[in-house]
C-alpha cells in the first residue's frame, strides 16, 4: 500500500462522487441515500471487535469499484493489508497513512479533502488520536485530556472541506457496552458531543450473536442501527450476516427485496427473474446469486433503479 504524499490543489474543480454502497442493499434503501453520502461526515461506532474496520474496508472496496480514490488514516496502526485485499480492496488505489499524532492525522485528512480527488477518506479511529504534547508526558504522570477539544476544533474545518470536495469522510469511534452518555453532565464539556453533532449520518454496529460451526467458515450476526440521519427521519435497525475473513452475505437482501417489489416473481412453485428460472427455494436462489455475481449485480441494479433512485 502506498504512503500518502500530502498535496493541495486549491484550483481543482471539486469532483461529484456518487453515494458509496454499504454492501447491503437493504441498508442503502433504509438510509434513503443509496449508501454513504458524499460531502458529509459519517460516524461508525461500536465496541471492540464489533466489525467497524471490516465495514469500512467494504466501503473502500465499493468506492474503488466506482472508480474513486480512497485514503485510510490508520491511527490504530492495526490495519491488516492481507485482510484488506481479501475484502476486495485494491492496494494500488488506496493511500495508507499511519500518523504520528492527532495533529498529524487531522492535517493530512484536511489536505486530502482539499485535494478534491478523494472519493472516500476513513479515519480508524478517532478514539486513538492522541495530541502530540500528551505523547511527551512521562510514564506515571497524568496527561491532559485534550483529545476531545482538538477534534471539536477540527471537525468544522473538515466538514466544510468535505462539503466543498464532495468526498465522504467516515470516522470510526469506540463505544463501550452497557454505557450511555449522561448528557446533563456534558454541559461543562460540550466538545464530547462534537462528532455526534457534526455527523450527518451515525451508524452503530453491535454484535447480536456468534455462530461458530465446526466447518471452515464462522458466521457472526451483527445489527446496524442508524442513530442519526439528516436525510430521513427514521431511526431503523437491520440485521447483517458477516462471514469472517470471507465476505458479506448480502445475497439474501437481494432476494428478499426483489421478491417484495416483484423484481423476482413466483410462478406456481418456481421463482423467475425476467425469463430466467432461478429455482424453487430461497436457499437455492441465494446460493445461485453468490455463485453468479453478474446475475446478482443485474438484479441489484434493477432494485436500485426502482427503489433508491425513486425514493
Note the pLDDT tens digit of each residue in 278-302. Answer: 999 988 998 898 889 899 889 988 8
Whether pLDDT at 221 is above 90: no
Flag whether pLDDT at 255 surpasses 60: yes
Q: Which CATH superfamily is domain 2-249 in?
A: P-loop containing nucleotide triphosphate hydrolases (3.40.50.300)
pLDDT for 93: 92
pLDDT exceeding 90 applies to what percent of the chain?
Answer: 37
Which pLDDT score is estimated for 12? Answer: 41
Do strands 168-174 and 41-46 pair parallel, antiparallel, or not at all (unpaired)?
parallel
Q: How many helices (H) and strands (E) does the chain have?
A: 10, 12
Which whole-number Å values give the CA distances from 176 to 33, 169, 205, 268, in the listed order?
28, 23, 12, 50
The secondary structure of 112-159 as a DSSP string is: HHHTT-EEEEEES-GGG---HHHHTSPTTSPPP--HHHHHHHHHHHHH
| Residue 186 preceded by cis peptide, ω within 30 | no
Q: Where in the chain is the domain with CATH 3.30.250.10?
A: 254-308
CA nearest neighbour of 251 among 260, 261, 241: 241
Task: Examine the pLDDT at 263 and tell me if it is beyond 60.
Answer: yes
**Average confidence (pLDDT) over 27-36:** 84
Q: Report the pLDDT value the prediction gives residue 7, as an integer from 0 to 100.
A: 36
For CATH 3.40.50.300, the residue range(s) in the chain are 2-249
For the question of whether the overall pTM of this predicted structure is more than 0.95, the answer is no
| Average of per-residue pLDDT across 167-195 | 71
Class of domain 254-308: alpha beta
- Are 122 and 71 spatial neighbours (Cβ–Cβ below 8 Å)? yes
- The residue ranges of DSSP E strands in the chain, in sequence order, are 2-3, 41-46, 69-73, 94-97, 118-123, 168-174, 201-211, 219-229, 237-243, 265-267, 270-273, 276-279
The per-residue pLDDT for range 233-250, each reduced to its tens digit, is 666 666 666 655 454 457
- 3-class DSSP state of 266: strand
Q: What is the pLDDT of residue 178?
A: 54
Tell me the backbone φ, ψ of residue 178, rounded to 5 degrees.
60, 30
Amino acid at each position: 500500500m502506498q504512503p500518502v504524499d500530502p498535496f493541495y490543489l486549491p484550483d481543482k474543480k471539486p469532483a461529484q462522487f456518487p453515494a458509496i454502497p454499504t454492501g447491503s442493499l437493504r441498508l442503502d434503501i433504509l438510509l434513503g441515500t443509496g449508501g454513504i453520502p458524499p460531502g458529509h461526515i459519517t460516524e461508525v461506532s461500536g465496541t471492540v471487535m464489533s466489525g467497524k474496520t471490516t465495514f469500512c474496508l467494504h466501503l473502500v472496496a465499493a468506492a474503488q469499484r466506482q472508480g474513486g480514490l480512497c485514503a485510510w488514516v490508520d491511527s490504530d496502526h492495526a490495519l491488516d493489508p492481507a485482510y484488506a485485499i481479501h475484502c476486495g480492496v485494491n492496494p494500488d488505489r488506496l493511500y495508507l497513512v499511519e500518523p504520528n499524532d492527532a495533529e498529524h492525522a487531522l492535517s493530512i485528512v484536511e489536505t486530502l479533502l482539499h485535494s478534491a480527488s478523494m472519493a472516500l477518506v476513513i479515519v480508524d479511529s478517532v478514539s486513538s488520536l492522541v495530541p502530540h504534547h500528551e505523547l511527551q508526558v512521562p510514564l506515571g504522570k497524568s496527561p491532559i485530556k485534550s483529545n476531545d477539544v482538538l477534534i471539536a476544533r477540527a471537525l468544522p474545518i473538515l466538514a466544510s472541506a468535505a462539503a466543498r470536495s464532495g468526498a465522504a469522510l467516515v470516522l470510526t469511534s469506540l463505544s463501550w457496552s452497557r454505557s450511555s452518555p449522561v448528557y446533563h453532565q456534558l454541559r461543562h464539556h460540550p466538545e464530547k458531543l462534537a462528532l455526534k453533532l457534526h455527523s450527518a449520518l451515525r451508524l452503530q454496529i453491535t454484535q447480536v450473536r456468534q455462530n461458530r460451526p465446526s466447518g471452515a467458515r464462522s458466521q457472526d450476526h451483527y445489527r446496524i442501527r442508524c442513530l442519526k440521519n439528516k436525510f430521513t427521519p427514521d431511526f431503523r435497525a437491520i440485521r447483517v450476516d458477516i462471514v469472517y475473513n470471507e465476505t458479506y452475505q448480502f445475497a439474501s437482501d437481494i432476494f428478499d427485496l426483489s421478491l417484495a417489489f416483484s423484481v423476482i416473481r413466483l410462478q406456481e412453485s418456481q421463482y423467475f427473474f425476467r425469463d430466467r428460472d432461478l429455482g424453487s427455494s430461497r436457499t437455492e436462489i441465494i446460493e445461485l446469486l453468490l455463485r453468479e455475481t453478474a446475475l446478482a449485480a443485474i438484479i441489484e441494479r434493477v432494485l436500485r433503479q426502482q427503489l433508491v433512485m425513486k425514493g
